[in-house]
Structure 1
């Protein structure tokens, strides 16, 4: 480090301001060195050979502690206070997401649709790269770019796309994004990573499907370890990782997928206008109960996949005579479930959307969720927003929605796989309509606090800023060797200031 040299020219004999007296013949110069604390310690620390063994150990320990503190501070981006309404200046954001949140019904469909809508309302320019089938040309002013896709080999209904065609690269380059946001895991996230590096743009990945948990159910257990390695490669290359729940964040941190300080929570949110108790509908209840609306009605909404542990619900219904159950949704496990529930009081509606879906949620008595692999469980949020109490497995991201202090007040959690625990909590709700209605009302009041707009504002004003800070830090680190060479070839000259 080059010291800053300051010479007082007013005391020199040839200075215009110097008085013409004999005292002015004295030459006095003041030299001041401004150094960083670390440099100062190098310049002014006592020589090690003059220290005893105990003193040397203390010096080394204190030095390591100081360095650790500096690194810890440097690894956290500064907190920038933003105005609640305006926040960060408008940005150009490219979003890569598969499967499409416009054509494929999935847990994060509402998340991304509300995210894009709110980004546009906050003044950001947005383009969305996604699968090509069934997508609109634009969504709330955001341009949609369809990429040719192919079915997943193990799950034919899930379309995949690499999104690395010259057309897409050209479209994104022409857009000149300030940041790229990609959903993970998948195939398209590799394309997003390549384009981000090609264009030298900060990259945020949001993790939505806990694939290592699903792999043994669909393929081979020995693929779990390679999957973790792929996740590490992807998320260590990203500048920030967003997770839908604290539990998933802990899983990624435990697996060392990326450093803990680069994991952030994407706050939960729900569309409390479209999922509302006012949609409770007698005709829909007749449909869901197969003509027996007076019977207690359990409801499950979501993709019907083997990983959702829906076979557990057969054992539940077996223990609850007089109770009916309705499955809303579709998926590869539907035919097996229909065969499993053959002759039982069960209804399979298939896919419902719009007002029909809102009516289905609000017309049930209890929402049941046996899945142990949910990254969050948006359907649980939607059921509670509809004024329907939930009985769900205490696993995955569900406890983030129903924390310990809310159990028994807004909804119930049961020990995963514990049939007696699950059945007893359903019976508590079916045995008292007053208790069930009170819990549904409390659930609705709690969900009114969850706002997609606030969640979006936090991402664009805080988490995107953190990603950009990490990206700049990484870029500076990569450029450091070149800067070192440059300084050796063109050494900086001492700075001389006149006082």
Structure 2
């Protein structure tokens, strides 16, 4: 027996012959093959490269093992006039959608329905800027956008997107978080009339289940942005950090090839060192601008580990700290920091927020639960050196090889480690400026337009591809029965 192995580039091959072709033949125990010159090999252009095994004998093994030892599938197709090829594919291989050309992915505008809870227009959260910029740049790229969100604070207009407020109720254990299922006949009718090409839902609330039901009712691909364990129902899951993607894959929440990264982005024009302001520094330092000033920006929630900063400040009596933001934990924090050199400004926005970032000396982020940490990116964009917990998505912003260059990370919950990273920055102006400049240069690489374009042109296409594949798999038994009864050719739904 002689065996010849060929590997062909599927991107250079024409479409495959149908398995239902009249010339198709397969005999599991006896195949006679003769090799000829000028062979034409046909395969699925979307498949991975395949191994072709051509034999001159009347017998072959019904299964082969890959180098890894895993069992391989055997498929057979009739090629040219008298050559049979076997496609060897790992049973455990996960297919990914094919890469598309720019002309294919930008050929027409899409109709995108976003389900976002709580509202990106009124609720203070880490994804407020993300979704506002996402909507803005989808509209600039020519897409029609509908936003379904909780009803409070929904503006009349936002970059031409269609906005629908769904009646909401407060979360029993978190009164400032509004929730809505978004399954009223009014909303279902509005989404159906909109005729979306894709539905994109953002957890952590219950609105994702409303989006899931509507997507199934309308037979539309569903993308979920991950914050809770519900992405198993989606055609594609977007996560804000590689660390979170690894956690989901390890937990087998969904298939690894259906977890994709939503690239980080920051408005580097709004958050810039040029906004440094002496007046703002006076405000943040309570009239003591000469003292080292630590800044924290974000929602004041108990899960943010902000109580750690009380112990940090006990070890840094020469420094001051300013909390910019609001949240359910604010009252308790104010009591905790009573009599200490701390300022609570409440919510700031616009140029005031830009000034607050740029007017501090060091930004500190003790949270261990950040899926990304947009405020850290905004601080870096403002030229502020960052000291952050080595946890969650923060390690994507300040990876190990960048520690000491664009910022510092400390061991989660370790007050001594945190203080050891803060002290040199607070007392060494040259080091502070060097790290701040490097942080600014790093964030200049990221923009919301590029992040939105990647979601629109790559991730949404992947979701649609997975959805079509799943639909084809669901219909396959019916196709087989139909072809068996009516001898009809196979239908390709891709």
The TM-score with structure 1 as length reference comes to 0.83
- Work out the CA distance in 2 between the residues paired with 1:151 and 1:319: 39
- Work out the CA distance in 1 between the residues paired with 2:426 and 2:344: 22
- Work out the CA distance in 2 between the residues paired with 1:299 and 1:78: 45
Which of the numbers 442, 449, 456 marks the counterpart of 2:445? 449
Task: Kindly state the Cα deviation for residue 66 of structure 1 after the two structures are TM-superposed.
Answer: 4.9
Task: Kindly state the Cα deviation for residue 82 of structure 1 after the two structures are TM-superposed.
Answer: 1.6
Structure 1 portions without partners, runs of 5+: 7-33, 49-54, 212-230, 495-499
- Work out the CA distance in 2 between the residues paired with 1:351 and 1:60: 59
Q: How does 1:100-499 map to 2 (within 5 A)?
A: 100-207=119-226, 209=227, 231=229, 234-492=230-488
Task: Kindly state the Cα deviation for residue 351 of structure 1 after the two structures are TM-superposed.
Answer: 0.9
Q: How does 1:26-45 map to 2 (within 5 A)?
A: none
1:422-460 deviation line (CA, Å, top 9, x unaligned): 111111111211110111111111111111110111111
Task: Kindly state the Cα deviation for residue 87 of structure 1 after the two structures are TM-superposed.
Answer: 3.1
Structure 2 portions without partners, runs of 5+: 1-18, 25-40, 45-49, 75-87
Asked which structure has the greater CA Rg, the reply is 1
1:231-278 deviation line (CA, Å, top 9, x unaligned): 2xx322210000000111111112211010000000000011111111
- Work out the CA distance in 2 between the residues paired with 1:352 and 1:60: 60
Local SS of the residue matching 1:75: coil
Task: Kindly state the Cα deviation for residue 91 of structure 1 after the two structures are TM-superposed.
Answer: 0.4
1:158-180 deviation line (CA, Å, top 9, x unaligned): 00000000000010000000000
- Work out the CA distance in 2 between the residues paired with 1:461 and 1:358: 31
Local SS of the residue matching 1:247: helix
- Work out the CA distance in 2 between the residues paired with 1:272 and 1:420: 32
Local SS of the residue matching 1:252: helix
Q: How does 1:15-30 map to 2 (within 5 A)?
A: none
Is 1:203–1:238's contact at 8 Å kept on the other side of the alignment? Answer: yes
- Work out the CA distance in 1 between the residues paired with 2:452 and 2:102: 14
More helix by share: 1
| Structure with more contact order per residue of length (Cα contacts < 8 Å, sep ≥ 6) | 1
The TM-score with structure 2 as length reference comes to 0.83
Local SS of the residue matching 2:459: helix
Give the structure 1 partner of residue 20 of structure 2.
Answer: 2
Local SS of the residue matching 1:383: helix
Is 2:483–2:489's contact at 8 Å kept on the other side of the alignment? Answer: no
Comparing 289-298 with 65-74, which one deviates more in the overlay? Answer: 65-74
- Work out the CA distance in 2 between the residues paired with 1:417 and 1:493: 63
Local SS of the residue matching 2:72: helix
